[in-house]
Structure 1
Amino acid sequence: MRTRTDAHDLRHHGDAEVRDDGAELTDLAVNVRPGTPPDWLRERIAASLTGLAAYPDGRAARAAVAARHGLPEEHVLLTAGVAEAFVLLARALPARRPVVVHPQFTEPEAALLDAGRPVRRVLLDPGTGFRLDPAAVAAVPEDADLVVIGNPTNPTSVLHPAAALRQLARPGRTLVVDEAFMDAVPGEPESLAGRRDVPGLVVLRSLTKTWGLAGLRIGYVLADPATVTALAAAQPLWAVSTPALAAAEACMTPAALAEAGTAALRTAAERAHLLAGLARFDGVRAVEPAAGPFVLVTMESADAVRERLRALGFAARRGDTFPGLGPQWLRLAVRDRATTNRFLQALDEALSPTHDTRRTAPTA
């Protein structure tokens, strides 16, 4: 089922850009880190297959997640990806006046609408770089009993200060912070994971992006025990598979966290290279500073440029399915330097029919 409101297809995601016509494309539309999962993680997952005859037992994985964030185990719920967590929140919590802060990942609004919850939107201003500034905080209705926001936000790549996010918390309100991409931020300086002093806080984390586990479906919820209990009651039995549980436990080890930290630093360097290349094109503007493994750009005739890029072998994520954005926006995943250079050359060619003057994209 596709959920559409105000012409925004809330169920359109980056994988559709790659699958639409079966063409072999370099994927800049999906935000999963390329070259993953690493061999050691594949081996841990493969080893779990010998236990498939038994029902999944999530105790060890839950304990590992709790230890990683310094929380008691009753604050953790393992889920089949963050997408399942949004469905559980929409179905299990008695929110009657939910607000979604856009532009952001569209599944929370889609899940709320599918659960019969009327959603109000707060649209962040592109003129301020989609920041959660005091005016944006004040725009959230005081009577909102559920507020959802991403950090760093997909698709804007904006990292909101933790202090600004805390201003959205209220007694009697559930504040959902989607941190699906936080482990791609070196040091995770603005994370609220592990915090117990923010009323109504629910933090969602994903293991699919950094570790390349989108096909396995694994994520988790960090919340107060009452909220975890309510969500668990709405969750199907054995919702998280044995291989996914093995992956979650493996990704919580000190060695895995160190590897993720190194990958985050590498992504930051590659993102800087992409942004520097984009800055050399007249009429192309990226939202900066960017903090995620992707960047959001605006340009004239972005739809036409996206189609030309497809013809040149590159898939980019259209922006017009995100509330608060329109057809002039594209999201680009950060890739290695060689791939980025090839993309910048393709972008130079894709822009040529609409730009009389161009700057040369880097070739090395």
Structure 2
Amino acid sequence: MTRDGLEHGGRLDAARRRFPGAPEPFLDLSTGINPVPWPLPPLPPTAFTRLPEPEAEAALRAVAAAAYGAADPAMVAAAPGTQLLIQLLPRLFPQPRLRVLGPTYAEHAACWRAAGTVVEEVEEAAALAGGGAALLCNPNNPDGRRLPRDALRALADRMAERGGLLVVDEAFADLEPGEAEPAAALLPHPALILLRSFGKSYGLAGLRLGFALAAPERAMAIRAALGPWAVSGPALAIGRAALPDAAWRLAAAARLAGDAARLDGLLEDAGLRVVGGTRLFRLARGEAGAWHARLGRAGILTRAFAARPDWLRFGLPGDEAGWARLEAALRPAGSG
């Protein structure tokens, strides 16, 4: 648990307290972060010692626009992580009511409620159009549910008709099939804001880099709210180098597709039923509490859900040693 009781993955210190006898190092499969990161280049000392130049931020926005399919860098705002954008949007573009397609990443609803918005969670995409504003994760976390681009366009048009807003969190979209036609191609649109997470796809979550894509006026408002030097010098340099690396992105997507299929097989063999996910995580159904505890005692952290005690989410191991540990922990007791 974190602030306000919201649950998140990746809390290894808390896992060590819960499973004090677990072998080290912990294998953290509780997040959807690419376990094989983009290879970091050497950085000049000035990336750390000087305030970032506005030209460097503009160059980052240009490569981000190209990578994400936006026609103009003016449609891009760069931020120190998508989480900050999630917290900023409700205050920058206030809405009286918001419908959220759930269950999904809980920070969205929590941040809008904190800003005074009445938030209603709906389970079907068709119900989103009935509110003044709407939000969904596409693909969704934790079940990988997707809404086609044509449906997104129709929903954004409905929101625009009533002066509302559609926020689409695409944190897990980069490595999924269909990226040849990104949702950013719908921009500029008066109602649409897209969020992209650099750290998950590129395996560099600690760098803290994320993007909002929107019509130029909205993107400019987001940049103004973030203020100068919002993105650190190292993040600017690494983002500028990594985002144009299409060959790495294609290779990572292919590797992760194979790894996701491999994980599905292990989970099904263990008696769990895979019910969704993306190339960065898989969602399984079964005796989740027992499996979470058993794996935790083996030094493997997974993502459990208090509201759905039959769900357990698995990230992907990053090397053969990790795969071997997971396979051994998933074997039936006494099978050797």
> The TM-score by the shorter chain falls in which range?
0.7 to 0.9
Residue 165 of structure 2 aligns with an amino acid whose one-letter code is T
Which residue of structure 1 aligns with residue 229 of structure 2?
238
Does the Cα contact within 8 Å between 1:151 and 1:179 map onto a contact in 2? yes
1:105, 1:154 within 8 Å by CA — same for their partners in 2? yes
Partner of 2:316: 334
Residue in 1 that maps onto 2:294: 308
Contact 2:266 2:330 in 1 (8 A): no
Identity percentage of aligned residues:
34
Instruction: Specify whether residues 93 and 270 from structure 1 end up closer, same or farther in structure 2 by C-alpha distance, changes over 3 A only.
Output: same
Match of 1:13 in 2: 8
Residues 163-218 of structure 1: CA distance to partner in whole angstroms, max 9, x if unpaired?
A: 23333222122111111111121452563023226551111111101222211100
- Determine if contact 1:17/1:317 at 8 Å carries over to the other structure: no
Q: What is the aligned residue count?
A: 322
Q: Which digits, 9 at most, give the CA deviation of each residue in 1:119-169, with x for residues without a partner? A: 11113xxxxxxxxxxxx2332252x23211111211112333222333322
Contact 1:18/1:315, CA 8 A, preserved across alignment: no
Pairwise CA distance, 1:31: 1.7
- CA separation of 1:337 and 1:245: change in aligned 2, threshold 3 A: closer
**Structure 1 range deviating more: 187-196 or 59-68:** 187-196
Which residue does 1:126 correspond to in 2?
none
| Deviation larger for 183-192 or 23-32 | 183-192
CA–CA distance in 2 between the matches of 1:146 and 1:110?
15
Does residue 53 in structure 1 map to residue 50 in structure 2? yes
Give the letter aligned to residue 96 of structure 1.
Answer: P
1:73 aligns with 2:73: yes
* Residue 275 in structure 1 maps to residue 264 in structure 2: yes
Q: Please give the secondary structure, in 2, of the residue aligned with 1:278.
A: helix
CA contact under 8 A between 1:32 and 1:209: conserved in structure 2?
yes
Name the amino acid aligned to 1:100. V
Structure 1 counterpart of 2:146, one-letter code:
L
* 8 Å contact from structure 2 (residues 188, 216) kept in 1: no
Q: Which of these residues, 318, 330, 336, is aligned with residue 347 of structure 1?
A: 330
The structure 1 residue matched to 2:141, chosen from 154, 161, 176, is: 154
Change (3 A) 1:50 1:337: closer
Partner of 2:210: 219
The aligned amino acid for 2:302 is: A
Whether the 8 Å CA contact 1:27–1:314 is kept in 2: the answer is: yes
CA distance in 1, matches of 2:285, 2:83: 27
- Which consecutive residues of structure 1, in runs of 5 or more, have no partner in the other structure? 124-135, 353-357
What's the C-alpha RMSD, in Å, of the aligned pairs? 2.5
Counterparts of residues 129-278 of structure 1 (less than 5 Å): 136-140=124-128, 142=130, 144-169=131-156, 170=158, 171=160, 172-188=163-179, 191-196=182-187, 199-253=190-244, 256-278=245-267
Distance in 1 (alpha carbons) for counterparts of 2:211 and 2:120: 26
Q: TM-score, normalised by structure 2?
A: 0.87
Q: 1:195 to 1:329 in 2, by over 3 A?
A: same
Distance 1:236 1:327, change over 3 A: farther
TM-superposed deviation, 1:293: 0.9
Does 2:55 correspond to 1:64? no
SS of structure 1 residue aligned to 2:185: coil
Query: 1:113, 1:93 → 2: CA distance?
Result: 13
CA contact (8 A) 1:303 1:318 kept: yes
Which one-letter code corresponds to 1:151 in the other structure? N
